[in-house]
């Protein structure tokens, strides 16, 4: 029974759905607060930025991005309809003003023109990229030249302490995440590792860590022209 519960949780972390998915989304806001804020800090939001987030969940942290300047424009994409609906509700004033929009889309097929954004970031999604080559190609297509991509994760040593991770997660270290970036035609420009407060997970104390890779699209991936 416990294993079935862990499988269900792993599935919801990948693609939240329904009432359980909404609850998982709220819990992720709590458990991932530090890593989201570390990532936003490193994003260095500036006036006129056009920012894309892949896998924004319910969009809880969007207000912290848009509070920097009214000229900032934010787009969130998620392949969970439940999360897109929740993000639109939670950020209704920003959506109405045109500062934010939330779309149902997978990272490997983004509904945008080339060079639409100058910054892209994603938190806790790379574990689930089934075809990273396609995702990196799409991110490079919609990111303007000189723009930056931030990928935030919990390192393998942390993830292996979480029992649901054995169901469908691909984990990375401070060596293998940069290697994934490089093999897909991107150049690593910064790698930040930051400790977080411990968290209790199913009765076990886990020392949390955020790892953020900052990359620029250098050499085009092989499937791009």
pLDDT band with cut points at 50, 70 and 90 for residue 163: confident
The residues pairing with 74 across neighbouring beta strands, listed in sequence order, are: 51, 100
Say what the pLDDT of residue 48 is: 98
The answer as to whether 90 is a domain residue is yes
Say what the pLDDT of residue 16 is: 72
| CA-angle at 144, arms to 142 and 145, nearest 5° | 130
Which residues in 105-142 belong to E strands, given as ranges? Answer: 117-123
Which CATH number covers residue 121? 3.40.50.150
Residue-range definition of the domain harbouring residue 111: 2-217
Q: Is the pLDDT of residue 57 over 60?
A: yes
The answer as to whether 7 is a domain residue is yes
The answer as to whether 222 is a domain residue is no
The answer as to whether 223 is a domain residue is no
Say what the pLDDT of residue 9 is: 60
Mean pLDDT of 68-94: 95
The answer as to whether 50 is a domain residue is yes
Q: Is the pLDDT of residue 23 over 80?
A: no
pLDDT band with cut points at 50, 70 and 90 for residue 117: very high
Mean pLDDT of 156-176: 89
Whole-prediction pTM value?
0.90
Lowest mean pLDDT among 20-24, 91-95, 106-110, 158-162: 20-24
Mean pLDDT of 25-51: 92
Lowest mean pLDDT among 18-27, 39-48, 65-74, 210-219: 18-27
Produce one character per residue of 179-199: b if its CB has 16 or more CB atoms within 10 Å, e if not: ebbeebbbeeeeebebebeeb
Name the token pair of 87: 């993000």
Per-residue pLDDT reduced to its tens digit, 122-148: 999 999 999 999 999 999 999 999 999
Q: What is the mean pLDDT of the chain?
A: 90
Phi then psi for 15, rounded to 5 degrees? Answer: -150, 85
Q: Is the pLDDT of residue 25 over 90?
A: no
Give the separation between CA 117 and CA 41, rounded to whole angstroms.
18
Is-contact 16 25, C-beta < 8 A?
yes
The answer as to whether 204 is a domain residue is yes
What single DSSP character describes residue 124? S
Is-contact 196 208, C-beta < 8 A?
yes
- For 150, residues 6+ apart whose C-beta sits below 8 A from its C-beta are 39, 42, 43, 119, 120, 121, 122, 212, 213, 214, 215
Q: Is the pLDDT of residue 8 over 90?
A: no
pLDDT band with cut points at 50, 70 and 90 for residue 11: low
Tell me how many domains the chain contains.
1
Give the separation between CA 49 and CA 130, rounded to whole angstroms.
29
């Amino acid at each position: 029974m416990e294993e079935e519960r862990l499988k269900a949780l792993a599935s919801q972390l990948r693609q939240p759905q329904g009432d359980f998915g909404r609850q998982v989304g709220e819990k992720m806001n709590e458990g991932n607060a530090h890593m989201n804020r570390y990532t936003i800090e490193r994003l260095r939001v500036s006036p006129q930025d056009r920012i894309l987030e892949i896998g924004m969940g319910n969009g809880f942290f969007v207000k912290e991005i848009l509070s920097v300047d009214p000229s900032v424009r934010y787009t969130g994409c998620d392949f969970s309809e439940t999360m897109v609906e929740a993000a639109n509700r939670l950020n209704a004033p920003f959506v109405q003003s045109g500062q934010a929009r939330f779309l149902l889309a997978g990272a490997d097929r983004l509904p945008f023109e080339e060079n639409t954004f100058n910054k892209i970031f994603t938190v806790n999604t790379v574990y689930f990229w089934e075809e990273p080559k396609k995702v990196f190609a799409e991110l490079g297509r919609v990111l303007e030249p000189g723009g930056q991509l931030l990928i935030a994760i919990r390192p393998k040593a942390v993830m292996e302490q979480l029992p649901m991770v054995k169901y469908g997660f691909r984990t990375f270290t401070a060596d293998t995440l940069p290697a994934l970036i490089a093999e897909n035609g991107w150049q690593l420009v910064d790698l930040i590792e930051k400790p977080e407060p411990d968290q209790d997970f199913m009765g076990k104390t886990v020392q949390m860590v955020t790892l953020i890779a900052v990359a620029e699209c250098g050499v085009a991936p092989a499937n791009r022209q």
